[in-house]
């Protein structure tokens, strides 16, 4: 008999169906890890634009075709398709919501052509949230808990406790919301609130400090039974640091006893150099020379020469302020004086893309810049680079540093959020990376120089660090158990 929980995991991104960042990776792996512990977690997400349904094995469900939900007073049609995410001995069912009005185009949050946020993001995710609650009666499967993620799904707890409070089929379902990034709150004008169908009292409850606006995430934090975020350190930071909690300090303090930070795990089938089918040479911690073959191929791919003594630094990132791109810009002149190569893979704000492309021209013999979202290149950089840079301004959990540990690519990170929780500084026993404290270009450059110095002068220490990194275990099992404890505390089961 199953001893765990039924959970509907509601999310706006799931790899490989859609991805802009770490949320997609969590949504792919956490449900499977929970299922491996005898829970039944099903995922539901919008299906953005056309997908290769044959390749992704997406199927129609007759019973869930041509459904309707009322948004803005008019019935809107949608269908639910089904697929499975498979891992080694793990799987999770995923429902993909198809709708021609809101999710016809490929973009997840913004139009990929204009790079502008969709002007109807409020309606898109309101529609999605309502549809999720509507299908529960038809699914013939009832969750104990609905697990929401970020602002896009944050209205579900409030809808459930007000609009759907008399619906005996679903009104006893508990809710959990996970904050993957507190900076994105989904703040809209009051007119958006009018579209939600929520009673006026909900607007009032969330209104303090909101300048007469409607804040999706804050509403979720007020109404969900439990709140989590993706690392213990970030949980502390967002309660205390006014710059980070962006007006949500009061609600986080108020909900403190229901709020917990749980570090995310990684999927060692996808991000593991010994089984990674994407990289040219697979390797274990006993085969570090093969890591250098990946480095050689990576450099050759960009017509750069390989030299064992010249370190290769990598960066894989959204090009946004959060990721410390302006710190990187500031140190580039100093960094490019060093004997090294740097490869940056990123996509995001135009101003950063432009300045990085200009830098590529200026430092053409040392700097590789690839603008785009490229999963394959991301794997190759993790395998081929010697060090990975993550000078984030803030970082809820961070995935790339965890992938770097797995590939023996030494992370150089700012000592904050999930980066702080997952990386041990080089000067400690079993150090796995290099940390700097202040968000300051000089400190960033200084720590890189410390790393370069060890790379050049102390090969033994460097190789020991690589092995220590590769021995770290950030698999999902431990985190999944913590989520189960949380489900237990809300469901009372
Ligand atoms: P965030 O979710 O804030 O973007 P994370 O470090 O938690 O940051 O997760 C980033 C994820 O997105 C990682 O899987 C990383 O490899 C991937 N990623 C980010 N930018 C790119 C890119 N330009 N191309 C390919 N993958 C990327």
Please indicate, yes or no, if residue 417 is contained in any of the structural domains: yes
Residues 90 and 165 in one domain: yes
The residue among 8, 16, 11 whose CA lies nearest residue 27 is 11
Question: Of 1-5, 188-192, 349-353, 489-493, which gets the smallest average pLDDT?
Answer: 1-5
Q: Model's pTM, two decimal places?
A: 0.93
CA 321 from centre of chain = 16
Residues 412 and 316 in one domain: yes
Ligand 1 atom with minimal separation from the 318 CA: 20
Please indicate, yes or no, if residue 88 is contained in any of the structural domains: yes
Compute the distance between CA of residue 278 and CA of residue 387 in angstroms, rounded to an integer: 19
Q: Is the CB of 318 under 6 A from ligand 1?
A: yes
Q: Specify the CATH number for the domain of residue 420.
A: 3.40.50.2000
Task: Please check whether residue 148 is in contact with residue 172, taking contact to mean a CB–CB distance below 8 angstroms.
Answer: no
Residues 311 and 258 in one domain: no
Please indicate, yes or no, if residue 283 is contained in any of the structural domains: no
Residues 24 and 172 in one domain: yes
Tokens representing 68? 């309707």
Please indicate, yes or no, if residue 380 is contained in any of the structural domains: yes
pLDDT per position as a tens digit, 45-82: 999 999 999 999 999 999 999 999 988 888 999 999 99
Ligand 1 atom with minimal separation from the 323 CA: 3
Residues 487 and 457 in one domain: no
Compute the distance between CA of residue 15 and CA of residue 118 in angstroms, rounded to an integer: 21
Q: What residue numbers bound the domain in which 438 lies?
A: 288-470
Residues 249 and 297 in one domain: no
Longest dimension (CA), the chain: 70
Please indicate, yes or no, if residue 200 is contained in any of the structural domains: yes
Residues 480 and 447 in one domain: no
Ligand 1 atom with minimal separation from the 180 CA: 2
Please indicate, yes or no, if residue 271 is contained in any of the structural domains: no
pLDDT per position as a tens digit, 274-310: 999 999 999 999 999 999 999 999 999 999 999 989 9
Domain count, the chain: 2
pLDDT per position as a tens digit, 334-347: 999 999 999 999 99
Cα 196 to middle of ligand 1, angstroms: 32
CA distances from 402 to 344, 346, 432, 439, 473 (A): 18, 18, 11, 21, 9
């Amino acid at each position: 008999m199953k001893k765990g929980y039924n959970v509907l995991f509601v999310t706006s991104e799931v790899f490989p169906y859609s991805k802009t960042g770490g949320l997609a990776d969590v949504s792919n792996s956490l449900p499977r890890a929970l299922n491996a512990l005898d829970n039944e977690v099903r995922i539901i997400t919008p299906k953005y634009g056309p997908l290769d349904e044959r390749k992704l094995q997406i199927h129609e469900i007759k019973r869930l075709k041509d459904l309707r939900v009322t948004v803005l007073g008019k019935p809107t049609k949608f269908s639910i398709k089904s697929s499975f995410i498979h891992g080694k001995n793990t799987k999770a069912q995923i429902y993909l919501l198809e709708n021609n009005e809101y999710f016809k185009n490929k973009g997840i949050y913004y139009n990929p052509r204009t790079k502008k946020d969709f002007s109807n993001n409020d309606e898109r995710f309101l529609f999605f949230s309502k549809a999720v609650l509507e299908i529960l009666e038809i699914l013939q499967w009832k969750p104990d808990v609905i697990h929401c993620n970020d602002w896009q799904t944050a209205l579900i707890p409030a809808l459930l406790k007000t609009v759907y409070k008399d619906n005996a089929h679903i009104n006893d379902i508990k809710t959990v919301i996970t904050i993957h990034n507190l900076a994105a709150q989904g703040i809209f004008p009051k007119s958006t609130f009018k579209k939600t169908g929520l009673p006026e009292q909900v607007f009032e409850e969330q209104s303090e400090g909101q300048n007469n606006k409607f804040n999706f995430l804050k509403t979720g934090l007020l109404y969900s039974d439990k709140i989590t975020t993706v690392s213990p350190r970030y949980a502390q930071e967002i309660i205390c640091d006014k710059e980070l909690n962006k007006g949500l300090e009061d609600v986080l303090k108020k909900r403190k006893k229901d709020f917990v930070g749980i570090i995310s795990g990684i999927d060692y089938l996808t991000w593991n150099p010994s089984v990674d089918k994407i990289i040219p040479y697979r390797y274990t911690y006993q085969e570090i020379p093969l890591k250098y073959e990946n480095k050689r191929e990576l450099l050759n791919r960009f017509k750069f020469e390989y030299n064992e003594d010249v370190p290769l630094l990598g960066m894989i990132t959204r090009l946004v302020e959060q990721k410390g791109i302006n710190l990187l810009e500031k140190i580039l002149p100093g960094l490019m004086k060093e004997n090294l190569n740097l490869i940056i893979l990123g996509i995001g704000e135009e101003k950063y893309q432009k300045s990085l492309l200009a830098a590529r021209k200026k430092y053409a013999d040392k700097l590789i810049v690839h603008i785009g979202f490229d999963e394959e290149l991301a794997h190759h950089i993790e395998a081929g680079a010697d060090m990975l840079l993550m000078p984030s301004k803030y970082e809820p959990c961070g995935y790339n540093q965890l992938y770097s540990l797995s590939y023996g690519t030494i992370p150089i990170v700012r000592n904050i959020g999930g980066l702080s929780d997952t990386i041990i500084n080089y000067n400690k026993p079993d150090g796995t990376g290099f940390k700097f404290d202040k968000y300051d270009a000089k400190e960033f450059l200084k720590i890189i120089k410390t790393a370069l110095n060890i790379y050049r002068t102390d090969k033994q220490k460097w190789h020991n660090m690589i092995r220590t990194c590769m021995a770290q275990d950030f698999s999902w099992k431990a985190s999944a158990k913590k989520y189960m404890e949380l489900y237990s505390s809300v469901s009372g089961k």
